[in-house]
Amino acid sequence: MKNSPDHISQLVDEIYRKESRRVFATLIRLLGDFDLAEDAMHDAFKTALEQWDDKGIPSNPRAWLISTGRFKAIDRMRRQSKFDPLHAKQTRNIKADIADPSMQVDKKIEDDILRLIFTCCHPALSSDARAAMTLREVCNLTTEEIARAFLVKPPTLAQRIVRAKAKIREAKIPFQVPPEHELPDRLETVLQVIYLIFNEGYYASSGKTVTRLDLSREAIRLGRLLLDLLPDPEVVGLLALMLLHESRRPARTTPTGDLVLLEEQDRSLWDPDMIEEGLSLLKQAFTSNRIGPYVLQAAIAAAHAEAKSPDTTDWSQIVGLYSLLLRVNPSPVIELNRAVAIAMRDGPEAGLNEINTILDRGELSDYHLAHSAQAELCQKLGQTKEARASWERALALAQQNPERRFIKRKLNELGR
């Protein structure tokens, strides 16, 4: 069958979107270098555009692209090794285990994506570098897109990626999925990276608007990809958590970009499909006998999602879940959230006592939400003077414009 060039270029585009990460990941394993693999992958797709027109489309395009990319890399290195003896050694090191061009080892190729994820999220890289590498190499976002999402200048982000790649090469971070006994620790780092990306999109830490759609969507996509490759209960939990948070996005801000608190959100705006998927994932996670921090956080998000109105929220259950979460993951921020839930269950005074205890310890004195929560409860108890002082402390610490506007509104409500 003769294919028109237009049809071929459309098809190659489609295959690029679907397969480029797999081809890339396998080429990293075979060539042992990120930059070499990237060049080889682009060479392979270029060759596909040139040759498929005449020679027809191979029966297994992915295998064809991998093997073509590998040959292109060897070619490239041979040419370079004429000038540089170091490259000659590298050429000899290229792994030969794709001698079979039919490449029916799909399992191994799926594992390569997982290897790529674990390499990009290696704990020896800084957490900024892990997120940037994961978005660049696993999600295939451009440096400019990632820079814009993280509100840094493109050259800064490019530098971060160059340094991370240099470290992977120089410190010999291997292209591996960790063995089973190391998996829980290393998976924790991967989940942290995905959740950090999600939160960067959800609560942009600075800037004009609170939500940046793309990063949260990328994080959910990553969560799905990871779950496909590694069906661990905590991966299920993280995906459920992200979906349940994301379901509230349309209700979280007003059209002018002002924050709307959970209590005041129009629950009819919550996305029912995301909630349904989140709840069903959570059910699946609870069938495991190992309940980790992400599953517990998802369960808390689910308790909110299931309540038709703030009054019908099961606050006892939420307090209980926070107590469990504190046991697996002791943190003052979780304690603060538990205190707020206690206020909802037992009344503002009980909650305020908890918050005062936490703030007295000093750990959260720079955390604006601790002061906001304190202010809110004081206000409910009619302690206007204390409430104003707390709102003012919160305002001094808050960075984002919508949050600052929210606090100012609260201060105005209190009057003078």
Rounded Cα distance, 95 and 100, in Å: 12
In terms of CB distance, is 154 or 178 closer to other proteins?
178
Q: At 157, is the secondary structure helix, strand, or coil?
A: helix
Least distance in angstroms from the C-beta of 125 to other proteins: 5
User: Count of CB atoms within 10 A of residue 146's CB?
Assistant: 26
The answer to whether the beta carbons of residues 95 and 30 sit under 8 Å apart is yes
In terms of CB distance, is 44 or 125 closer to other proteins?
125
* Residue 189 main-chain phi, psi, to 5 deg: -65, -40
Rounded Cα distance, 85 and 9, in Å: 38
Least distance in angstroms from the C-beta of 183 to other proteins: 12
In terms of CB distance, is 170 or 266 closer to other proteins?
170
DSSP secondary structure, 192-249, as one string: HHHHHHHHHHHS-SSSS-S--HHHHHHHHHHHHHHHHH---HHHHHHHHHHHHHHTTH
Rounded Cα distance, 304 and 312, in Å: 9
In terms of CB distance, is 170 or 360 closer to other proteins?
170
Rounded Cα distance, 35 and 28, in Å: 9
Least distance in angstroms from the C-beta of 78 to other proteins: 21
117: which 2 tokens? 């994820």
Q: At 253, is the secondary structure helix, strand, or coil?
A: strand
416: which 2 tokens? 């003078």
Q: Cα separations (Å) of 316 from 313, 322, 335, 339? A: 9, 10, 15, 12
Cα distance from N-terminal residue to C-terminal residue, the chain:
81
Rounded Cα distance, 348 and 387, in Å: 13
Residues in the chain: 416
Query: Under rule CB under 8 A, which residues in 112-141 are in contact with other proteins?
Result: 122-126, 129
Least distance in angstroms from the C-beta of 135 to other proteins: 18
The count of chain residues that interact with other proteins, using the rule CB under 8 A, is 18
The answer to whether the beta carbons of residues 55 and 2 sit under 8 Å apart is no
Least distance in angstroms from the C-beta of 337 to other proteins: 21
Least distance in angstroms from the C-beta of 396 to other proteins: 28
In terms of CB distance, is 121 or 135 closer to other proteins?
121
328 binds other proteins (CB under 8 A): no
The answer to whether the beta carbons of residues 124 and 173 sit under 8 Å apart is yes
Query: Under rule CB under 8 A, which residues in 150-209 are in contact with other proteins?
Result: 163, 166-167, 170-174, 176, 178, 182, 185
* H or E element that contains 345: helix 332-346
In terms of CB distance, is 73 or 133 closer to other proteins?
133
In terms of CB distance, is 115 or 304 closer to other proteins?
115
Least distance in angstroms from the C-beta of 86 to other proteins: 9
Least distance in angstroms from the C-beta of 355 to other proteins: 25
The single-letter code of the amino acid at 181 is H
Spatial neighbors of 143 by CB under 8 A, at least 6 apart, are 136, 154, 157, 158, 161
Least distance in angstroms from the C-beta of 176 to other proteins: 6
In terms of CB distance, is 179 or 255 closer to other proteins?
179
Least distance in angstroms from the C-beta of 126 to other proteins: 4
In terms of CB distance, is 163 or 224 closer to other proteins?
163
154: which 2 tokens? 């493109």
Packing angle between helix 332-346 and helix 348-360, nearest 10 degrees?
160
In terms of CB distance, is 160 or 304 closer to other proteins?
160
Interface ranges with other proteins (CB under 8 A):
122-126, 129, 163, 166-167, 170-174, 176, 178, 182, 185
